[in-house]
């Protein structure tokens, strides 16, 4: 039996010899990372610099874009180093840190999307009382609670339950560190990990799913009983959020159920395992930037973008 303190590094066995193609993969991955950083950062700056955009929907979007930057930074720099590396190993402390970052990103993403569905429900079903329900204090509390809970819950899982486990191996069959695969390596009792996972699944995650379903059921009820203008408004405001939610669920589907996909090519298995960490931060800013043109219109109307570039020029 190998003690957890004796496991100094983990080997990521999902990587394969790409030969000269590794430079092509490197260029593709770094290009995606640059697009994610630029698009999310631009929308964060536009929302922050426009007072007219300091509304609940855009503040939640700002939190969502910050989370996309956080999750991408937890994956892409590490992935780029591993692509160029011939020895795919990672130190144990860094591996646990990456698990913490990626899992807290996923939980924050799901919390934020659930709260945004509740926000859309209030805006469409109770438009006259919307600002009375969604006060600045309540918005700040919801955003703070989302981040605080995600960080504390994952700190407990990674550093309180997983890190102290006694491990009998150090081979992780993925291209990044994963809590599930580390727990599978354990020689010691993992009952606490399993209990926490089940309790968390049937309380917090289930409650968020119920909140999302409830919100959209009420929105659909208003759409069917309301006017054509009401339906168009609901469609225009809910479509980006619904698409983002479905996209995240699609990626999480492959990650959670962990199909036995040995019959698939290795590159396809890697792609499916990276989907939820790659396409969500890539699609969200493009989706909201296109569908919610008010962001860009207000930016140019109020001169926020111009003032931003002017400030940069002054600094230079």
Side-chain half-sphere exposure of 167, counting CA atoms within 13 A: 23
Q: What is the mean pLDDT of residues 165-173?
A: 88
What six digits make up the tokens of 131?
A: 């600002």
- Each residue's pLDDT tens digit, 202-255: 888 899 999 999 999 988 888 877 677 777 777 777 888 889 999 998 888 877
Assign residue 16 the CATH number of its domain.
Answer: 1.20.1070.10
Q: What is the mean pLDDT of residues 150-172?
A: 90
Give percent above pLDDT 90 in the chain: 37
CA 159 to centroid of chain Cα atoms: 21
pLDDT for the residue numbered 74: 94
pLDDT for the residue numbered 294: 54
Work out how many domains the chain is built from and give that number. Answer: 1
Q: How far apart are CA 200 and CA 212, in angstroms?
A: 17
- Each residue's pLDDT tens digit, 286-315: 888 765 555 555 455 555 445 444 433 433
What six digits make up the tokens of 264?
A: 């698939």
Q: What is the mean pLDDT of residues 109-119?
A: 94
- Each residue's pLDDT tens digit, 63-103: 999 999 999 999 999 999 998 888 888 999 999 999 999 99
C-alpha angle with apex 82: 70 to 3, nearest 5 degrees?
85
| Contact predicate 18/100, CB 8 Å | no
Assign 172 to helix, strand or coil: strand
Domain that holds residue 64: 4-315
Q: How far apart are CA 147 and CA 99, in angstroms?
A: 16
Q: Which one, of 251, 236, 309, lies nearest residue 282 by Cα?
A: 251
pLDDT for the residue numbered 297: 56
Which backbone phi and psi does 107 adopt, to 5 degrees?
-70, -40
List of residues 6+ apart from 60 with CB closer than 8 A: 112, 115, 116, 119, 139, 142, 143
User: What is the DSSP code string of 128-149?
Assistant: TTHHHHS-HHHHHHHHHHHHHH
Q: Which of 29-33, 129-133, 160-164 has the highest mean pLDDT?
A: 29-33
Q: Which of 16-25, 67-76, 189-198 has the highest mean pLDDT?
A: 67-76
């Amino acid at each position: 039996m190998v003690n957890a303190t004796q496991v100094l590094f983990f080997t990521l066995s999902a990587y394969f010899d790409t030969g000269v193609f590794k430079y092509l993969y490197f260029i593709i991955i770094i290009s995606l990372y640059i697009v994610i950083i630029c698009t999310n950062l631009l929308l964060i700056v536009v929302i922050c610099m426009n007072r007219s955009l300091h509304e609940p929907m855009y503040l939640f979007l700002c939190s969502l874009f910050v989370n996309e930057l956080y999750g991408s930074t937890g994956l892409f720099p590490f992935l780029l180093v591993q692509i160029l590396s011939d020895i795919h190993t990672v130190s144990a402390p860094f591996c646990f840190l990456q698990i913490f970052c990626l899992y807290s990103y996923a939980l924050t993403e799901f919390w934020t999307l659930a709260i945004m569905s509740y926000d859309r429900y209030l805006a469409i079903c109770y438009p006259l009382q919307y600002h009375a329900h969604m006060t600045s204090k309540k918005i700040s509390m919801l955003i703070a609670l989302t981040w605080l809970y995600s960080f504390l819950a994952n700190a407990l899982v990674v550093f309180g339950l997983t890190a102290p486990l006694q491990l009998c191996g150090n081979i992780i069959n993925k291209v990044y560190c994963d809590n599930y695969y580390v727990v599978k390596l354990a020689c010691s009792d993992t009952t606490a990990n399993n209990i926490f996972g089940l309790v968390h699944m049937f309380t917090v995650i289930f409650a968020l799913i119920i909140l999302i379903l409830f919100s959209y059921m009420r929105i659909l009820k208003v759409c069917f009983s309301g006017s054509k203008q009401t339906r168009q408004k609901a469609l225009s405001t809910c479509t980006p959020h619904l698409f983002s939610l479905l996209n995240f669920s699609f990626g999480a589907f492959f990650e959670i159920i962990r199909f036995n996909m040995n019959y698939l090519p290795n590159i396809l298995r890697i792609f499916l395992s990276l989907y939820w960490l790659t396409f969500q931060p890539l699609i969200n800013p493009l989706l909201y930037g296109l569908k919610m043109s008010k962001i860009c219109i207000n930016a140019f109307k109020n001169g926020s973008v111009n003032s931003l570039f002017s400030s940069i020029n002054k600094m230079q």
